[in-house]
């Protein structure tokens, strides 16, 4: 059963403790402090425009920045406003995610709602500000009001006056279908002209900040455009007619967020984005099963087999069974088969997503999967024929539910035809489409892995069947981005950029990194050991073991991946420098998994094991062998086991493009 989410609730969250006071504002000048008082957000109306400023430890982090919206045919809500009232409350609740990077999450913030009115038009606009110890969220709320039934947003006028001297990591803004499947740029913030979010900064005084958004519902994706060096204005992705959003009645925009910390690890450990989303809307989540998955995929990407029918067709009954055997051996819970249905591959048009290819006996594959306690993941590559998909969603999903299929990987490669128009993958209508898929899937107890969809904004807290998504230059880009693939440093940037919004289906775990049957001249730009380390560095509740049965069985690194968890009780990011190296440790029950990766430089890292509990642990260390080199000899790994305690300090010698993966079990 799916509960009825209140998608526009501003104050509707069920909270552990709420203290609310309302005061009539006279000065229109309000300060909201974080619970630990280190962060301070000042909001005021200056010359009729709402403005905000963020200070941390008394120093300005975001200088005075304007706020407001433009609605078609109305005076801009960037002028003529006066504050009518201010309401404050404290939020303090602890919640348990269905899956996540920590078993318990504390949501602790001070909130302030400023109610403003534009006397000349009578329009009302509220600003909701929440200040946490680890950052800030604010959103606009248009309350129900006479004369505002149906209306059009033509621009959002939110500014971010960030420190121009900061170093930044971002993707250029874009509306292309694969705008998120690019490599992050490192640049002085003052050189950045446009950016998608997350946009990540390291300030010259050593603070770290991520600009992003939370709870992107019924609204277009926000990008950023520089108005002067270091200062950005929100630029919403347009509908085909150039406007931004068609709304009716009361509405809350997504939250505009600043995740803030000293260490890069403070960013990656933060739950601010999830905390700004509504609690779980699904009454029963027992059918949501995080875990690793394998499947007919990498062999297709490498053109060893084909999506289309023919002599090299990948998704045959026999091959699917081999992957089910692999899943069982690996402790994986799901098996994906791309190219299982008719008209997959080639032009992809005319798929009904229900008819299997002649050499794929769906009933037999499902029987074999069930007998081995493995779930089948159906591939729905819409190829952008979204109108067709929408019209048939319920029929397709109902049939899957009948068959016992509880997971779908969706895809929107290239176009996005919806509402009779070819549109951006990131506009308001596209955002609504992804949500309709998640809602329909929940009705039929189906989990979603979405490729070429929208960046994550923490919605999985509310809809935990939205398991993971792409929006990342993942493993396949080692192939599509030519001989250079994904440069090693990209993986040291992603935990602090793309993963700030939520899980990514990066699909790690290719151990035969040089495998190139098609002789395309491409390969994976890491060592095999670095692939193992990614299971701690990257989070996805459906996490792929991307390699083939043959490659796994012939590589000693496979032992590390067996029974790998995909949802965690605790996560720590340890020694990390964005773009240089990352060390992350994750715990499931009593077992810790640590992954350390480096960029194109050799590095020696000292890792204190303070995160371990008391007593002795056996550390199984999978590392690059003495003669391993990312470019010339990437496959060899050494496996060593030794006894350690929380007082131990490990010295990890990482070769360029390499990594170390360690499993700690209590002795």
Q: How far is the CB of 476 from ligand NOJ (least distance, A)?
A: 6
Q: Which of 604, 623, 615, 630 is nearest to 663 (CA)?
A: 623
Please check whether residue 653 is in contact with residue 577, taking contact to mean a CB–CB distance below 8 angstroms: no
State the residues that interact with ligand NOJ by CB under 6 A: 297, 338, 381, 411, 413, 451, 470, 476
Q: How far is the CB of 296 from ligand NOJ (least distance, A)?
A: 10
The residue whose two tokens read 């049939």 is 399
Please check whether residue 583 is in contact with residue 573, taking contact to mean a CB–CB distance below 8 angstroms: yes
C-beta closer to ligand NOJ: residue 137 or 502: 502
Q: How far is the CB of 332 from Ca ion (least distance, A)?
A: 21
Q: Cβ atoms within 10 A of the Cβ of 183, count? A: 16
C-beta closer to Ca ion: residue 183 or 246: 183
Q: How far is the CB of 175 from Ca ion (least distance, A)?
A: 16
C-beta closer to ligand NOJ: residue 80 or 411: 411
Q: How far is the CB of 445 from ligand NOJ (least distance, A)?
A: 24
Q: How far is the CB of 339 from ligand NOJ (least distance, A)?
A: 9
Identify what 2 binds: ligand NOJ, Ca ion, none; CB under 5 to 8 Å per kind: none
Q: Which of 357, 434, 430, 363 is nearest to 393 (CA)?
A: 434
C-beta closer to ligand NOJ: residue 413 or 591: 413
C-beta closer to ligand NOJ: residue 506 or 535: 506
Q: How far is the CB of 471 from ligand NOJ (least distance, A)?
A: 10
Please check whether residue 31 is in contact with residue 37, taking contact to mean a CB–CB distance below 8 angstroms: no
Tell me the C-alpha distance between 184 and 186, whole Å.
Answer: 7
Q: Cβ atoms within 10 A of the Cβ of 550, count? A: 13
Tell me the C-alpha distance between 582 and 494, whole Å.
Answer: 10
Tell me the C-alpha distance between 163 and 158, whole Å.
Answer: 16
Q: Cβ atoms within 10 A of the Cβ of 164, count? A: 17
Bin 399: left if φ > 0, else alpha if -120 < ψ < 50, else beta: alpha
Residue 167 host element (H or E)? strand 167-170
C-beta closer to ligand NOJ: residue 411 or 508: 411
Identify what 381 binds: ligand NOJ, Ca ion, none; CB under 5 to 8 Å per kind: ligand NOJ
Distances from the Cα of 610 to the Cα of 647, 649, 661, angstroms: 6, 8, 17
Tell me the C-alpha distance between 581 and 363, whole Å.
Answer: 46
C-beta closer to ligand NOJ: residue 297 or 397: 297
C-beta closer to ligand NOJ: residue 10 or 413: 413
Structure token digits, residue 633: 């000899």
Q: How far is the CB of 396 from ligand NOJ (least distance, A)?
A: 16
Tell me the C-alpha distance between 63 and 160, whole Å.
Answer: 8
Identify what 278 binds: Ca ion, ligand NOJ, none; CB under 5 to 8 Å per kind: none
Structure token digits, residue 323: 């992957």
C-beta closer to Ca ion: residue 451 or 461: 451
CB neighbour list of residue 26: distance below 8 Å, 6 or more residues apart: none
C-beta closer to ligand NOJ: residue 297 or 535: 297
C-beta closer to ligand NOJ: residue 356 or 411: 411
Tell me the C-alpha distance between 427 and 419, whole Å.
Answer: 12
User: x/- contact string, 445-464, with Ca ion (CB under 5 A)?
Assistant: ------x-------------
CB neighbour list of residue 136: distance below 8 Å, 6 or more residues apart: 39, 41, 54, 129, 130, 257, 258, 260
Helix, strand, coil percentages for the chain (3-state, nearest 5): 15, 35, 45
Q: How far is the CB of 315 from ligand NOJ (least distance, A)?
A: 12
Please check whether residue 127 is in contact with residue 85, taking contact to mean a CB–CB distance below 8 angstroms: no
C-beta closer to Ca ion: residue 451 or 555: 451
Q: Cβ atoms within 10 A of the Cβ of 125, count? A: 22
Name the pairing type of β-strands 291-296 and 542-544. Answer: parallel
Contact range with Ca ion by CB under 5 A, out of 132-140, 443-451, 571-579, 597-605: 443-451
Structure token digits, residue 461: 């807290």
> What is the DSSP track for 385-444?
BHHHHHHHHHHHHHHHHHHT--EEEEE--S--EETTEE--TTSHHHHHHHHHHHHHHHHT
**Helices 386-403/428-443 angle, 10° precision:** 10
Q: How far is the CB of 389 from ligand NOJ (least distance, A)?
A: 13
Identify what 426 binds: ligand NOJ, Ca ion, none; CB under 5 to 8 Å per kind: none
Q: How far is the CB of 549 from ligand NOJ (least distance, A)?
A: 18
Identify what 134 binds: Ca ion, ligand NOJ, none; CB under 5 to 8 Å per kind: none
Q: Which of 445, 103, 120 is nearest to 288 (CA)?
A: 445
Return the residue nearest ligand NOJ (CB atom).
381
The residue whose two tokens read 């640049």 is 187
Q: How far is the CB of 510 from ligand NOJ (least distance, A)?
A: 13
C-beta closer to Ca ion: residue 208 or 451: 451
Q: Which residues of 114-124 are buried (b: 16+ CB within 10 A; e: fewer)?
A: bbbbbeeeebb
C-beta closer to ligand NOJ: residue 296 or 393: 296
Q: How far is the CB of 345 from ligand NOJ (least distance, A)?
A: 8
Write phi, then psi, for 368 (nearest 5 degrees): -65, -40
Q: How far is the CB of 346 from ligand NOJ (least distance, A)?
A: 11
C-beta closer to ligand NOJ: residue 451 or 523: 451
Residue 466 host element (H or E)? strand 466-469
Please count the residues of this chain forming the interface with Ca ion, following the rule CB under 5 A. 1
Q: How far is the CB of 451 from ligand NOJ (least distance, A)?
A: 4
Interaction site with Ca ion (CB under 5 A): 451
């Amino acid at each position: 059963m799916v509960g009825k989410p209140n998608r526009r609730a501003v104050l509707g969250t069920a909270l552990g403790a709420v203290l609310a006071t309302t005061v009539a504002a006279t000065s229109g000048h309000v300060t909201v402090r974080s619970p630990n008082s280190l962060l301070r957000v000042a909001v005021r109306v200056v010359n009729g425009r709402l403005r905000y400023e963020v200070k941390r430890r008394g120093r300005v982090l975001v200088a005075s920045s304007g706020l407001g919206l433009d609605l078609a045919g109305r005076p801009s809500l960037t002028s003529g406003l006066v504050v009518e009232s201010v309401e404050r409350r404290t939020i303090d609740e602890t919640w348990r995610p269905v899956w996540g990077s920590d078993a318990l999450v504390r949501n602790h913030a001070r909130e302030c709602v400023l109610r403003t009115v534009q006397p000349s038009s009578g329009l009302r606009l509220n600003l909701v500000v929440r200040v946490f110890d680890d950052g800030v969220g604010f959103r606009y709320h248009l309350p129900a009001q006479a004369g505002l039934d149906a209306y059009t947003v033509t621009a959002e006028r939110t500014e971010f006056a960030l420190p121009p001297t900061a170093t930044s990591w971002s993707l250029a803004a874009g509306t292309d279908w694969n705008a998120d499947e690019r490599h992050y740029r490192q640049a002085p913030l003052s050189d950045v002209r446009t950016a998608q979010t997350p946009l990540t900064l390291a300030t010259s005084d050593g603070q770290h900040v991520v600009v992003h958004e939370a709870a992107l519902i019924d609204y277009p994706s926000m990008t950023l455009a520089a108005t002067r060096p270091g200062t950005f204005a929100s630029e919403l992705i347009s509908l085909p007619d150039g406007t931004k959003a068609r709304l009716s009645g009361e509405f809350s925009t997504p939250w505009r967020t600043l995740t803030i910390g000293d260490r890069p690890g403070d960013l990656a450990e933060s739950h601010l984005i999830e905390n700004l989303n509504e609690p779980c809307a699904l009454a029963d989540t027992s059918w949501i099963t995080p875990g690793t998955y394998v499947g007919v995929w990498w062999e297709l990407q490498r053109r060893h087999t084909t999506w289309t029918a023919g002599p090299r067709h990948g998704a045959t009954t026999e091959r699917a069974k081999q992957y089910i055997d692999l899943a069982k051996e690996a402790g994986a819970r799901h098996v994906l088969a791309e190219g299982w249905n008719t008209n997959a591959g080639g032009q992809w048009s005319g798929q009904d997503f229900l008819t299997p290819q002649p050499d794929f006996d769906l009933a037999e594959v499902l029987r074999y999967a069930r007998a081995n306690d493995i779930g089948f993941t159906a591939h729905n590559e819409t190829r952008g024929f979204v109108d067709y998909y929408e019209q048939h969603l319920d029929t397709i999903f109902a049939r899957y539910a009948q068959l016992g299929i509880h997971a779908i990987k969706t895809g929107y490669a290239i176009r996005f035809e919806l509402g009779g128009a070819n549109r951006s993958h990131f506009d308001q209508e596209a955002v609504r489409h992804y949500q309709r898929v998640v809602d329909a899937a929940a009705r039929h107890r189906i989990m979603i892995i979405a490729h070429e969809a929208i960046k994550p904004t923490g919605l999985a807290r509310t809809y935990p069947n939205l398991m993971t998504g792409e929006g990342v230059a993942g493993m396949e880009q080692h192939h599509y981005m030519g001989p250079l693939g994904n440069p090693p440093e990209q993986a040291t940037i992603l935990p602090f950029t793309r993963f700030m919004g939520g899980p990514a289906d990066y699909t790690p775990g290719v151990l035969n990194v040089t495998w190139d049957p098609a002789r395309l001249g491409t390969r994976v730009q890491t060592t095999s050991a670095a692939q193992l380390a990614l299971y701690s560095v990257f989070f996805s509740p459906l996490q792929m073991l991307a390699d083939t049965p043959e490659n796994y069985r012939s590589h000693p690194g496979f032992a590390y991946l067996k029974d790998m968890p995909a949802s965690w009780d605790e996560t720590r990011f340890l020694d990390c420098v964005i773009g240089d190296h990352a060390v992350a440790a994750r715990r499931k029950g009593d077992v810790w998994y640590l992954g350390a990766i480096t960029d194109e430089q050799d590095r020696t890292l000292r890792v204190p094991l303070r995160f371990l509990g008391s007593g002795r642990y056996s550390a199984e260390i999978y590392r690059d062998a003495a003669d391993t080199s990312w470019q010339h000899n990437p496959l060899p790994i050494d496996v060593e086991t030794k006894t350690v305690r929380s007082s131990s300090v490990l010295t990890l010698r990482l070769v360029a493009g390499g990594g170390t993966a360690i499993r700690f079990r209590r002795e």
